[in-house]
Structure 1
Amino acid sequence: MLQLGCDYNYEQWPPAVWREDMALMREAGVDLVAVNVFGWSAVEPRPGEYDFAALDEIVGLLHDNGIRLNLGTGTASPPPWLTSRHPSVLPVTADGTTRYPGGRQAFCPSSPIFREHALRLVEQVAQRYGRHPALALWHVSNELGCHNALCYCEASAEAFRVWLAARYGTTEALNKAWGTAFWSQRYDSFDEIQPPRLALSVRNPAHLVDFQRFSSDALLDHYRAEAAVLRRFSAAPITTNFMVTAHIRNQDYWSWAADMDVVANDHYLDHRLPDPVAELAFAADLTRGLAGGKPWMLMESATGAVNWQPYNLAKEPGQLLRNTLTHVARGADTICFFQWRASAQGAEKFHSAMLPHAGVDSATWREVLDLSAVLDSLGEVAGTTVQADTALVFSWESWWATDTEARPSQDVRYLEQVHAAYRALRELGVTVDIVAPGSDLTRYRAVVVPCLHMVSDASAAAIAGYVEGGGRAVITFYSGIVDPDDRVRLGGYPGAFRDLLGVVSEEFAPLLPGQSVALASGGQATVWTERLRTTTAEVVEAYADGKPAVTRNQYGAGLAWYVATVLEPAGLQNVLRQAVGDRTGGTSDIEIVRRRGDGRDYVFVVNHGGKDIEHPITGTELVTGQSVTASVLVPAGAVRVVREA
């Protein structure tokens, strides 16, 4: 079955409301409830004094009502008594200033004092509930690193030095990796190294990238520490909620995924983006990639508006179902919302919920009931896997290295280029698997590599070997430029991919904001150009002056395209169509995704547009329960899921 769940912050409500909520949760078909996510100050009101009376009652009520527990360890935000007694726990920003309590996550991930107190709490919670029959899942902390991923305090500095010593062994090796001969930055001892706090000039980019790596590892180490305590007292699966989304970039989740018993993600539509719905699909596909293609869990999403964007837009009628089933289509078997009941106070009081301020006599509540019924009708889809024949290579390290302080153009932003490639593929109707650099690519008909600025020799060789064996690859500009030490690959750009692509670029020639160059085909290019010449490649698209802008190279049995500029959407889509092909029915408004399992195929057709469409297919439509022959009608703004005959 597909599970429906939510966060329940029972601490905000009197006990009489708890009982009302249990009845309404049953009515809404809620299967899984997250509690104790921010429970530290409630269950440990004073150091070493524990009060589980309220949590015991909530756990009992949920169990009595047949609802499973997604139980938080409670460590997401320290209580005021901890930071008051131990101010060294507080995080420090890059400018050296301390951030104080009053919000959430007011702690340094490397603080030994925070770790000591957090693990003491986890042990108490695990001992008490580790074998409770309602326990389905452990939820470590919450959105680790959402606000405090990068801490520059003395505890972080010491932990960073230890991390560097383990990584490099000697300062000689570190000096070589960081290129410290530049600007007289040579280190004679690890004790001389500080976190990359703000400086008078641009900072060493290799130093910055390593601090990102360290900070991601520090948060992962905290997860592992809590998980180790939980495993002493419980056999229930353990996870934490990732933040695979456009505005969070500090955790390299490729290195985290293997530690999760279930991969879970939080996702909210971001209306600051040009195409929030395409980003939703991208995040879902990336989360599935982190799960190794297996079903995953949407730990948090919103029924309507969020509270943290400049303009927090409500969802249109039907959008809740479309957004949710896009996640399901792309591999989610559990759908949860923040939160159950909209808060009356606090920083998130205007965040939407399953039960809004208006109560049950509301459109939101009715849409929640409709969604629950649809998820029930799709129960047989659970456990199936998404079918994709195209891969897109994505790298957090390349994101860090691209969006650094000193680069050829501040308008080159890694995620924007990734999103552009993904959006073009989606509009061609192509379902993609998002994979890490170095992944096995042999099963894919095509691979797209957008803006992979930082790449190892092994990862570049994996792409070249794939093409040599008959594959097709599209690589976009600013790729292959530096190695994992952020050292430029000499001999001409695009560095690691020169031979594969059959081109050499002698110089970058970025464009000014608003500037464009004409293409021979009549289109326009923006942001970026290169002084490119071909060695073995042929020119697919040229600038109006005849110089190459897009090339294609025969390499072994395969083909490799190079897109050396920012094409208009139609131009990029045309290049990808040549390399990847297109699929029937996919457009910017129509998503068609196939899940498969137990000899059955399930085709999701999501209509984001304003017109009814017909999709050719025969089988049983699960949302309405109707049989379809030859085609299924998908009304404007609706979703249909067909078990194919």
Structure 2
Amino acid sequence: MAELFDGRLLYGAALYPEVWDKNIVASDAALMAKLGMNVARMGEFIWSALEPDEGRIDLSILHDALNILDDHGIATILCTPTVTPPIWLTHGHQGRLHHTADGTALGHGSRQHVCTNGAYFRERAAIITGALAREFGQDRRVISWQLDNEFKSHVGGCHCPSCRDLWGQWLEAKYQDIAQLNEQWSTAVWSETYQSFDQIPLPAPTPFLHNTALMTAFNDFSQVKINEFAAEQSRIIRAHSELPITHNSGFGFDLDNQGLYSNLDYSSFDTYPAAPNYPAFLMNLDYFPHFGASGKTILMETSTSHGGSIANYGSPHPAGFVEAEIFANFAAGSKGFLFWPFRQHCGGSEQPHGAVVSPWGAPTIGFSSAARGGELLAQLETILTGGETLPPRVAITYSDRAKTALSVEPGGKLDYRGVLSGIHRRFVEAGIGRALIPEGASLDAYDVLLTPYAHHLDPEFLERVSDWVRAGGTWLVGPGTADRDAHHRWHSDAALGALESIAGVRGVLAFPATGSGTSAEFLGWQGGLDGMSTFMECTTARPLGMVRSGPAAGLAFVTENQGTPETGDGRVILVGSLPDGFEDPLLVDLLIGYATTPSKTWPARTEARELGAGGGVVEYLRRKKGRLQRWLVNMSDTTAELELPFPTTELLSNTNMNAGKYRLEPYTYIIAEERNA
């Protein structure tokens, strides 16, 4: 595939020609160009305008919009409109609707109300997608395709009659023999044993709780099926077009992103964090570049000022925050930044949502940020061209499989996204660069890997991490990791299964430490432990954290294994328990510091390190023509201090900065390129 977007950086917004007449679209396109925008996204909700009656397809509205945009030098990302099927597809056909676990059929009037596994929906979706691909697959005005919109952002697995049949068929294909399923699911517990695959229920309401294996498998089934739909749409498009294909995902959606993007060319994401929660914005930049054939990502949707709907109003961003987002976005290596929407909707459920212009065409409170964003990108593009973003030293495993497992067994308090967000925030606040990577990502660029709260470690993943450790990597693994098998059952041979060998431990006790009187110490920290915990005896490892009181007194809760055939040149730090997840800042900082600080024994393998300024200062390291660049942005609302270790040239102002301490005001940024003293 050629370079993504022919090397262009994208800046733009979503347009809706099905909502506004051609004169307004033309006015908006002219204003977009004036603001420095070069791309529009459209079509994700347009199905009823393209096919108002079944079988009567008219694409002229898209041609008109493409012509208008092209006249103003604006390219288009064209979407398949399958997230909002027309009324004729579902009216009088309740079986085609998405059904919730309690059997409720979700009706027309919103989006994602159709079962995407239904045969008739798939047929009509293929027809409209094929029509678009044939018409616009070779159109120079179109630069990319987006499939659907935000898969599974509102719904999880479907419980309709079609899915009930597909569920049994999928299980039979996966397990082949019902006896094998019964054994692997431990269905002898509570007399759940099945005689045939068509007897296995969907996880509908029961008097108590479902088998963990059934819930895990149903999540897998739902994710596999939506990815099958995405792959089907991709095949249809690729029969007529060589343009890159993406889907706009997000952390809150019920997806297997690794499987989804295995068939796509680049990733894209939607994010709407409030300014105080700026680490949530950065999480996307740390995560989504690790998907798609090109290894590139773009921000497909965010707000100029505030999100919101008729149910909940958003709070406007402080002045300068959006520009700081734009700076961070491109510093991190993203290839695009798009707002949603350009013109605020005059109807529907998202009327209060921020935009570039109001329904009556006047500038909104976000207009000035959009204008300054275009000016900023014009400055950045020259500096970005020919450079590259350097990977950080530290990676954190973010696994959709682990997310499923923690949703199956939250233990009353744990939410995977929330816990991982908290861990990520600790790195951001410490000024440590970090990548969030899926299980299938390469580890070659990293010195340190954290893998917390992953109940099951896939054998292939464990083997790759073990090889990486032996080559010199540091693996901080746990808590809540490797204590279950692929079907979410305890191991029957060892508390932590195959992990115990490379960790050099033997798991002795596993129980919820909350309220048990379990207290412990680690590198000067002392306190109580919480949550489902594993306590160990060391075989080849050495104890770093010991339990001093409670049922596990005398056992270790943090260990380090090194200098063994299993660890080679690396080390494994195993954490069996923590106080209230990762919420104790002292203990977390001690663990992170111990694992990530280079030393004589464990030198950093990467050549450049962040300044570690913290205090809201986010840093991305880039290199261009052999020179190291530090892209620094203060994402917080307070003034921060940083210290430059070498003389630099600030590239935006073309001024020299000597080594020393500097202040960075809220939402401001600099690009410090090192120069000779």
TM-score by length of 2: 0.88
Report how far residue 555 of structure 1 moved: 4.8
What residue in structure 1 maps to residue 279 of structure 2?
Answer: 278
Q: Deviations over 1:21-68 (max 9, x none)?
A: 122111111111011110001111111112333322111101111100
Describe the shift of the 1:553–1:96 C-alpha distance in structure 2 as closer, same or farther (beyond 3 A): same
- What is aligned with 2:339? 337
Q: 1:296 to 1:302 in 2, by over 3 A?
A: same
In the TM superposition, residue 577 of structure 1 has moved relative to its aligned partner by 1.0
Please say if 1:527 is aligned against 2:530.
Answer: yes
Contact persistence 2:290–2:441 (CA under 8 A): no
Alpha-carbon separation, structure 2, partners of 1:117 and 1:362: 39
Name the residue aligned to 2:395: 391
Alpha-carbon contact 2:263-2:292 (below 8 Å) kept: no
Deviations 1:546-601 (A, max 9, x none): 64343222252322222233341222111111111184233141111113355454
* Within-5 A mapping of 1:221-260: 221-243=228-250, 245=251, 247-248=252-253, 250-260=254-264
Q: Deviations over 1:310-366 (max 9, x none)?
A: 562211111111223223232211111111111121111111112246855554211
Q: 1:629 to 1:511 in 2, by over 3 A?
A: same
Worse-matched range after superposition: 95-104 or 589-598 = 589-598
Could you say if the C-alpha distance between residues 392 and 313 of structure 1 is closer, same or farther in structure 2, counting changes exceeding 3 Å? same
Say which of 650, 656, 659 aligns to 1:630: 659
Could you list the structure 1 runs, at least 4 aligned residues long, displaced by more than 6 angstroms after superposition.
Answer: 513-516
State the AA in 2 paired with 1:328. F
The residue type equivalent to 1:342 in the other structure is Q
Provide Cα deviations, 1:350-403, integer angstroms capped at 9, x if missing partner.
Answer: 111122468555542111111111111111425733422222222111111122
Change (3 A) 1:292 1:48: closer
- Displacement, 1:179? 2.0
Question: Counterpart of 1:297?
Answer: 298
Q: Provide the secondary structure at the position in 2 that maps to 1:256.
A: helix
1:476 equivalent among 468, 475, 478: 478
Q: What is the distance in 1 between the residues matched to 2:135 and 2:515? A: 59
Distance 1:524 1:376, change over 3 A: farther
Secondary structure in 1 matching 2:324: helix
> Structure 2: how far apart are the matches of 1:276 and 1:483?
35
Kindly provide the amino acid, as one letter, of the partner of residue 572 in structure 2: A
For the residues of structure 1 that align with 2:23 and 2:128, how far apart are their CA atoms? 28
Structure 1 residues 233 and 491, CA gap change in structure 2 (3 angstroms): closer
- C-alpha distance in 1, partners of 2:655/2:528? 48
Q: Where does residue 554 of structure 1 map in the other structure?
A: 562
The structural deviation recorded for 1:480 is: 0.6
Shift of 1:483: 1.9
Structure 1, 581-590 or 138-147: larger mean CA deviation: 581-590
- CA distance 1:335–1:361, change in 2 (3 Å): closer
3-state SS of paired residue (2:120): helix
Measured after TM superposition, the shift of residue 118 of structure 1 is 1.2
Partner of 1:506: 508
Q: What aligned pairs does 1:114-513 form with structure 2 within 5 A after superposition?
A: 114-243=121-250, 245=251, 247-248=252-253, 250-269=254-273, 276-291=277-292, 294-308=295-309, 310=312, 312-356=314-358, 360-380=362-382, 381=384, 384-405=388-409, 409-437=411-439, 439-512=441-514
Distance 1:515 1:242, change over 3 A: farther
Letter in 2 for 1:553: N
Whole-angstrom distance in 2 between the partners of 1:241 and 1:115: 20
Q: Which residue is equivalent to 1:564? A: 576
Contact 1:618 1:629 in 2 (8 A): yes
- Do the aligned partners of 1:515 and 1:527 also contact (CA within 8 Å) in 2? no
Contact 2:632 2:669 in 1 (8 A): yes
**Equivalent pair of 1:468/1:555 in contact (CA under 8 Å):** no
Give 1:611's aligned amino acid.
Answer: T
Counterparts of 1:531 and 1:203 in 2: how far apart (Å)? 25
Describe the shift of the 1:588–1:454 C-alpha distance in structure 2 as closer, same or farther (beyond 3 A): farther
The share of aligned pairs that are identical, in percent, is: 24
Contact 1:149 1:219 (8 Å CA) reproduced: no
The CA deviation string for residues 253-308 of structure 1, in whole angstroms up to 9 with x for no partner, is 1112221112111112168xxx7222222222111222478331111111121115
Which residue matches 1:51?
A: 58
CA distance in 2, matches of 1:175, 1:533: 31
Give, in angstroms, the shift of residue 127 of structure 1.
Answer: 2.2
Residue 102 of structure 2, aligned match among 86, 91, 95? 95
Q: Deviations over 1:172-206 (max 9, x none)?
A: 22222222222222223222223222222210111
1:606 aligns with 633
Q: Could you say what secondary structure the match of 2:347 adopts?
A: coil
1:153 positional shift = 0.7
- Correspondence 1:574 to 2:590: yes
What is the distance in 2 between the residues matched to 1:514 and 1:459? 34
> 2:643 aligned with 1:621, yes or no?
no
Alpha-carbon distance between aligned partners in 2 of 1:598 and 1:221, rounded to the nearest angstrom: 43
Instruction: Tell me, yes or no, if the aligned pair for 1:360 and 1:366 is still in contact at 8 Å.
Output: no
Alpha carbons of structure 1 residues 369 and 207: separation in structure 2 relative to 1, 3 Å = same
Asked if the contact 1:503–1:532 (Cα under 8 Å) also holds between the matched residues in 2, the reply is no
- Unaligned segments of structure 2, at least 5 residues: 1-7, 599-609
1:445 to partner: Cα distance: 1.4
Q: Match of 1:326, SS?
A: helix
TM-superposed deviation, 1:75: 1.6
Offset, 1:497: 2.1
Aligned with residue 587 of structure 1, among 602, 614, 618: 614
Q: Within 2, Cα distance between the matches of 1:184 and 1:317?
A: 61
Structure 1's 134 and 442: CA in aligned 2 closer, same or farther, altered over 3 A? closer
Contact 1:448–1:474 (CA under 8 A) maintained in structure 2: yes
Code of the residue aligned with 1:33 in structure 2: it is A
The CA deviation at 1:110 is 0.5
For residues 55 and 85 of structure 1, what CA distance do their matches in structure 2 show? 29
CA distance in structure 2 between the partners assigned to 1:276 and 1:435 by the alignment: 21
Q: For the Cα contact (< 8 Å) 2:306–2:314, is it kept in 1? A: yes
Decide whether the 8 Å contact of 1:299 with 1:336 is kept in 2.
yes
Using the alignment, how far apart are the partners of 1:588 and 1:483 within structure 2?
Answer: 40
Counterpart of 2:601?
none
One-letter code of the match for 2:21?
A: P
Q: Per the alignment, do residues 451 and 270 of structure 1 end up closer, same or farther by CA in structure 2, a change over 3 Å counting? A: farther
- 1:541 lines up with 2:553 in the alignment: no
- Give TM-score, length-normalised by structure 1: 0.92
Larger mean Cα displacement after TM superposition, 152-161 or 47-56:
47-56
Q: Using a 3 Å threshold, how does the CA distance of structure 1 residues 70 and 600 change in structure 2: closer, same or farther?
A: farther
Query: Is the Cα contact below 8 Å between 1:387 and 1:596 reproduced in 2?
Result: no
Return 352-361 or 457-466, whichever deviates more.
Answer: 352-361
1:491-528 Cα distance to aligned partner (Å, 9 max, x none): 44333322333333433343558999564735434532
